[in-house]
Every structure is written in structure tokens, then in C-alpha cells.
């Protein structure tokens, strides 16, 4: 199979993507969330409530089995079921309003960011547009802005939610049975190693995908803008073959490779979870 070598500006984009996070740029991005700090705080509180409710559900199931069914105490079973239903309602309420709030905040942030970006593009020199293709600029204004919105409004809170939920799960597991909890935690070192390896591989792969998207957008924009010249010189077939065999093919290869890497992580985590469950059943009796 022919190895596709993209043009220099695409490889330069990949090199730029490989740079670390600039603290100054991070502070500038966080500034876009300040007008919506109140809603973000409310969303964080709702997130913590939903996480606590999701952890409390299995704990109430344990109480219903041990103190209700096994002990023959139907009053305790009835109250536990009502408590479980109450927790489920709280989880639904917190999740529903958190998603609605974050969706509104996300769209507001992307509105402000694109407004600022458009004003900045108007002030750039002609030399900038002679060095950067239209497709690359469009990619920055559309794809990258969407990525920033997802990071600012969903990823940060999702990380905080997962950490809080994990802490609650660890506390509940240790409170229920220390020995079985430690057996479950025995697979965590392997999970950490797998996560680190996956992060490194997927980071490089998806950055190549983003660079490939920039190349596709660049070629599409240039062909659409110059369609009169293309048709005047009868280059339709040649341009199509170049797009099909090089530009679009390169994007396909990068995207498929990234998906292959991603497809390894989830089964690996599920396998470790199954191993932990087997250890609990085998050694815990």
C-alpha cells in the first residue's frame, strides 16, 4: 500500500498539536467561563448530588437484602425501597438540570469565543492569509472551537464527577468489607498502566486525525473557491483523483488507526473488572 506523505503545513500542524499546554492560553480560555461562574457552580453541585445518589443506590440494595429480606424485617425492606426510589428521583433531577445548564453554558461560551475569533480574523494581516490556507482557518474556527467548548463545559466537570464518585465508591466498599475491597483494588495498578499507555497512543493518533481534517477542509475550500479555474482548465478529474487517493485516503487511514487504538482500551478495562470480580467470588467466598 502506498504511504501517503501530506504537505508540509499538515505535518507542521501535527508538530504544533504535540506541544504542551500553555498556561497563558489556558488562563485566556478560562476567562470565557467567568461570566457563567454561577451556573457552573450550580452544575457542579448538581453533579455531586447525582454522583452521591448513584453510589447510594447499591448501598440501599445491600441494606434491603441483609436487613430486610434475610432478616425477615419487612418494615425495613419497605422503608429501604422508598429510600432507594427517593435517591433515584434525586439522581434524575440533578442529572436533568445539570445537562440543561451545561448545554446552555456551552453554547453561550462558543458564541462568545467565535465572536472574538471572527473579530480577530478581521484584524489579521494579508500576509497571514498568504501563509495559511482558508481550510486551516476554517478548521480552527469550527472544529477546534467545538473541542474547546467540550473541554471547558463537559470534560472538566466529568473529571471532577468521576473523581468524586470514585472516592465515594472506595469509601463505601471499605465500609462494607475491607478484605473484598482490597481484592478488588488489586487490579488498579494494571489499570493505571493501561490507561497511561492508551493516553500516549491515542493522543498522538487523534492529533494526526485533527491535522488530517485540516488538510481535507483546506483542499475542499480551495477547490470550491477556485471552481471556475478548475473547470476552465478541465482539472475536475485530476483534482478528484488527488482528493480521493491522497487527501481523503490519508484522513481515512488516520481515523481508522485512531479507532483501532480506542477499541483496545474499553475491553482491557472490562477484562480487569472481570478479573477483580472473579477474585472476589473465588477468594471471598
Render pLDDT for 56-97 as a digit per residue (tens, 0 to 9). 888 888 888 888 777 778 888 888 889 889 999 999 999 899
CATH architecture, range 21-176: Up-down Bundle (1.20)
Task: Determine the pLDDT at residue 21.
Answer: 62
Q: Classify residue 50 as exposed, middle or buried by CB count within 10 Å of its CB (0-12, 13-18, 19+).
A: buried
What CA–CA distance (Å, rounded) separates 6 from 210?
13
Q: What value does the mean pLDDT of the chain take? A: 82
Is the confidence at residue 26, as pLDDT, over 80? no
Chain segment 135-150, per-residue pLDDT in tens: 677 777 777 777 777 7
Residues 6+ apart with CB under 8 A from 170: 181, 185
Residue extents of the structural domains in the chain: 21-176, 177-285
Selection from 264, 75, 78, 43 nearest residue 156 by Cα = 43
User: What's the whole-model pTM score?
Assistant: 0.70
- List phi, psi (to 5°) of 125: -75, 165
Q: Supply the pLDDT for residue 1.
A: 56
Q: Which three cell numbers stand for residue 211?
A: 491535522
Among the listed residues 212, 193, 203, 202, the one whose alpha carbon sits nearest the alpha carbon of residue 263: 202
In this predicted structure, the answer to whether residue 17 has a pLDDT above a threshold of 60 is no
Amino acid at each position: 500500500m502506498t504511504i501517503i506523505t501530506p504537505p508540509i503545513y499538515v505535518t507542521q500542524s501535527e508538530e504544533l498539536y504535540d506541544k504542551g499546554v500553555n498556561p497563558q492560553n489556558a488562563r485566556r480560555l478560562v476567562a470565557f467561563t467567568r461570566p457563567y461562574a454561577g451556573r457552573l457552580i450550580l452544575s457542579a453541585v448538581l453533579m455531586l448530588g447525582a454522583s452521591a445518589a448513584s453510589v447510594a443506590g447499591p448501598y440501599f440494595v445491600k441494606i434491603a437484602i441483609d436487613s430486610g429480606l434475610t432478616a425477615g424485617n419487612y418494615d425495613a425492606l419497605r422503608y429501604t425501597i422508598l429510600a432507594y426510589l427517593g435517591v433515584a428521583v434525586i439522581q434524575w433531577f440533578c442529572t436533568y438540570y445539570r445537562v440543561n445548564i451545561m448545554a446552555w453554558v456551552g453554547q453561550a461560551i462558543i458564541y462568545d469565543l467565535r465572536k472574538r475569533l471572527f473579530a480577530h480574523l478581521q484584524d489579521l494581516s494579508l500576509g497571514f492569509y498568504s501563509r495559511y490556507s482558508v481550510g486551516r482557518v476554517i478548521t480552527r474556527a469550527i472544529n477546534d472551537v467545538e473541542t474547546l467548548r467540550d473541554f471547558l463545559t463537559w470534560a472538566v466537570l466529568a473529571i471532577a464527577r468521576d473523581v468524586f464518585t470514585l472516592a465515594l465508591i472506595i469509601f463505601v466498599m471499605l465500609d462494607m468489607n475491607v478484605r473484598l475491597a482490597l481484592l478488588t483494588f488489586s487490579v488498579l495498578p494494571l489499570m493505571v498502566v493501561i490507561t497511561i499507555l492508551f493516553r500516549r497512543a491515542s493522543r498522538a493518533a487523534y492529533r494526526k486525525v485533527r491535522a488530517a481534517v485540516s488538510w481535507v477542509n483546506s483542499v475542499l475550500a480551495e477547490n470550491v473557491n477556485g471552481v471556475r479555474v478548475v473547470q476552465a482548465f478541465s482539472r475536475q478529474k485530476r483534482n478528484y483523483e488527488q482528493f480521493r487517493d491522497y487527501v481523503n485516503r490519508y484522513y481515512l487511514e488516520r481515523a481508522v488507526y485512531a479507532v483501532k487504538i480506542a477499541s483496545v482500551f474499553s475491553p482491557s478495562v472490562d477484562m480487569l473488572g472481570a478479573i477483580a470480580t472473579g477474585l472476589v467470588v473465588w477468594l471471598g467466598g
